[in-house]
């Protein structure tokens, strides 16, 4: 009887010893059991920001992540040293078949790195390991935890600004080539680069600036933008010419009887002086009115020529004149 009890005690002690050996020395060979002891990785915060780097078409991406750990009931995880390390993979393929980044790093939490990546859609995931507890030495990786995919959008590409046609005294036509990855364009004018875009997002590749003055030089530059940055075109300086004068001359009325009057009214633009000819003469103001008595029948033509820095222009008006009829006199000779 005593032998039986002794055997049971020895078996119990042996069983406990074997279990202890399996737990503390066989951990690396029993992933399912070891998984109860490792940290459970959870991506609970992340963000991605992109800014241009020195290389054309390659941009810096900053990654931030955090995790939490857990210990199953009845186990002890040394949370001050858990997780001990982590591994990150970044790939432009969702199956992570050819990672563009695959590194093992320290245990800083949160942790950030800066990578140079071409534009495109990327996927990332991390795995961590820890020692097996207070008796430690062995470790095992957790399953992968996937972060959300992100899109690296390069800043707008280079493009060229030029004139879109002939420059007038009151308008400047602009035209530019498309900028890759641009979401819109800002039309900038002047040394302080004032935005004169009519609305945003402005996506056309041309613009007519009609807020200019004659004989003035303007600086233009176009700024392409998207969510990740901006890029400006070359600068062009454009000088507007003087505007050619215009004249508007009218008469009221334009048909009269001989001896009646008519009123001439005129206005001009971009003119500094005006001269009358034809049915009238002399220097005239650049705008005004004058009453005239046209003669002789059947018509009289009035011309006004106005001049300015941009040249000269003339306009004429004709007034029709109906002569007065004599009475139908008949000679009566007494008999």
| 282: CATH | 2.60.40.10
Is pLDDT above 60 for 52? Answer: no
Residue 12 has pLDDT above 90, yes or no: no
The residue among 303 and 108 whose pLDDT is bigger is 303
In a domain, 265, yes or no: yes
* Domain hosting residue 52, numbered range: 25-152
Mean pLDDT of the chain: 77
Consecutive H or E run containing 2: helix 2-25
Rounded distance, CA 170 to CA 189, Å?
A: 15
Q: Are residues 31 and 148 in the same domain?
A: yes
37 and 148 in a single domain? The answer is yes
- On whether residue 257 sits in a domain, the answer given is yes
Q: CA distances (Å), 310 to each of 13, 213, 238, 271, in order?
A: 113, 13, 17, 8
Average pLDDT over residues 240-266: 97
Considering the domain boundaries, does residue 89 fall inside one?
yes
Please check whether residues 68 and 178 belong to one and the same domain: no
In a domain, 143, yes or no: yes
Closest by Cα among 213, 239, 77 to 142: 77
- Residue where one domain finishes, among candidates 205, 222, 239: 239
Query: Which of 286, 266, 278, 273 minimizes the C-alpha distance to 302?
Result: 278
Task: Please indicate whether residue 209 or residue 114 has the higher confidence score (pLDDT).
Answer: 209
User: Is the predicted pLDDT of residue 59 greater than 60, yes or no?
Assistant: no
- Pair (57, 145) in one structural domain: yes
For range 225-254, the mean pLDDT: 95
Whether residues 44 and 114 share a domain: the answer is yes
Its pTM surpasses 0.75: no
* Residue 328 included in any domain: no
In the chain, % of residues over pLDDT 90: 51
- 141, 179: one domain: no
Q: What is the mean pLDDT of residues 195-223?
A: 97
* Predicted pLDDT of residue 327: 61
User: 100, 119, 152: which is the final residue of a domain?
Assistant: 152
pLDDT tens digits, 105-163: 665 555 566 777 777 888 888 776 655 444 444 455 666 777 777 777 788 999 999 99
Question: Does residue 131 sit in the same domain as residue 51?
Answer: yes
Query: Which of 217, 239, 261 is the last residue before a domain boundary?
Result: 239
User: Is the same domain home to 257 and 216?
Assistant: no
pLDDT at 81: 44
Together in a domain, 61 and 136: yes
Residue 43: inside a domain: yes
Q: Which whole number is the average pLDDT over 59-83?
A: 44
Q: Picking from 52-61, 204-213, 214-223, which range would have the lowest pLDDT averaged per residue?
A: 52-61
User: Is residue 302 predicted with pLDDT exceeding 90?
Assistant: yes
C-beta of residue 274 within 8 angstroms of C-beta of residue 284 = yes
Into how many domains does the chain fold? 3
């Amino acid at each position: 009887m005593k032998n039986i009890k002794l055997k049971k005690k020895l078996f119990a002690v042996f069983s406990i010893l074997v279990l202890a050996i399996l737990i503390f020395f066989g951990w690396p060979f029993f992933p399912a059991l070891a998984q109860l002891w490792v940290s459970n990785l959870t991506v609970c915060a992340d963000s991605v920001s992109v800014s241009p780097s020195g290389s054309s078409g390659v941009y810096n991406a900053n990654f931030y992540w955090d995790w939490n750990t857990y210990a199953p009931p009845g186990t002890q995880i040394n949370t001050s040293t858990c997780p001990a390390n982590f591994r990150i993979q970044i790939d432009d393929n969702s199956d992570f078949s050819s990672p563009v980044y695959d590194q093992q790093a320290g245990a800083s939490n949160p942790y950030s790195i800066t990578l140079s990546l071409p534009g495109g859609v990327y996927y990332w995931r991390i795995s961590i390991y820890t020692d097996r507890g207070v008796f430690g030495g062995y470790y095992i990786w957790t399953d992968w935890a996937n972060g959300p995919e992100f899109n690296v959008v390069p800043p707008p590409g280079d493009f060229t600004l030029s004139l879109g046609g002939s420059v007038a005294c009151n308008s400047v036509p602009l035209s530019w080539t498309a900028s890759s990855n641009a979401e819109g364009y800002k039309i900038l004018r002047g040394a302080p680069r004032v935005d004169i875009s009519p609305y945003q997002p402005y996506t056309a590749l041309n613009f007519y600036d009609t807020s200019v003055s004659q004989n003035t030089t303007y600086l233009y530059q176009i700024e392409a933008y998207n969510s990740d940055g901006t890029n400006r075109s070359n600068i062009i300086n454009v000088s507007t010419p003087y505007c050619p004068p215009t004249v508007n001359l009218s008469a009221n009325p334009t048909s009269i009887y001989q001896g009646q009057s008519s009123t001439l009214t005129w206005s001009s633009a971009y003119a500094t002086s005006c001269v009358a000819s034809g049915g009238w003469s002399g220097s005239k103001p650049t705008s005004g009115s004058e009453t005239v008595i046209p003669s002789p029948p059947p018509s009289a033509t009035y011309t006004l020529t106005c001049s300015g820095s941009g040249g000269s222009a003339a306009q004429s008006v004709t007034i029709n004149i109906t002569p007065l009829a004599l009475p139908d006199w008949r000679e009566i000779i007494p008999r």
